[in-house]
Amino acid sequence: MRVPITVPTEHLRARVCARPVLGAINSGLWLAVLSLAVSVLTLLFLSVVLPREDWGPSAGSALGTLSPGLLFFVAVLWVPVFETLLGQVVPVEVANRFGGSSLVCIIISAALFGVGHCVNGGLAHGVATFSTGLVFAGSYLLARPSGMFPAFLAAFTTHAAHNFMLLFVVASLFPQWA
């Protein structure tokens, strides 16, 4: 007798299909944990293979001057709205319209997301956001069968929760990384 293997994404997709808005938010929160782990592992890998002087400037250095409330509004709420539209919705929908597979859509989205951050924050920031962009685009596609709004909401929630954990949790626990 074969036992079916349940892939975690199937479970998340089923939750989104059953309750599109709450399911998108729920899947986004779970995938934010994954994206944070991917981001940290990417930066740890880069710290081994790439000299620190080749990392480039920190894209988030200007954020350090903001009050915690303004930082939350800008980096957790405001910026993820626009970055989700430009980094996930538009590239995934365009690539899909031209017949791109899910994998192609995810890679194109992540590449554009990474390049945009590389221009603003240097090589390490670009590579790290490419890796998290894979998760953000994956969250978009996970919820896309339920419509564009749940897909946007899933990717936005993943991005916003990722930024919150990175800026308010990881930075508090490891201030030397900030």
Report pLDDT for 99.
Answer: 95
Question: Strand, helix or coil at 37?
Answer: helix
Biggest CA-to-CA distance, the chain: 61
| pLDDT in single tens digits along all 178 residues of the chain | 443 434 467 777 777 778 888 999 999 999 999 999 999 999 999 989 988 888 887 766 777 788 999 999 999 999 999 999 999 999 999 999 999 999 999 999 999 999 999 988 889 989 999 999 999 999 999 999 999 999 999 999 999 999 999 999 988 887 765 5
Q: Exposed e or buried b for every residue in 134-150, given b needs 16+ CB within 10 A?
A: bbbbbbbbbbbebeeeb
Report pLDDT for 8.
Answer: 63
Report pLDDT for 126.
Answer: 93
Closest CA to 139 of 151, 131, 126: 151
Report pLDDT for 52.
Answer: 84
Quick check: 29 and 154 in contact, CB under 8 A? Answer: no
Quick check: 78 and 126 in contact, CB under 8 A? Answer: no
Question: Domain spans of the chain?
Answer: 8-177
Report pLDDT for 5.
Answer: 38
CA 105 to chain centre: 14
- The DSSP line for 96-110 is HHTT--HHHHHHHHH
Instruction: At 47, list the tokens.
Output: 């710290």
Give the Cα separation of 119 and 139 in Å (integer). 24
Give the Cα separation of 125 and 112 in Å (integer). 13
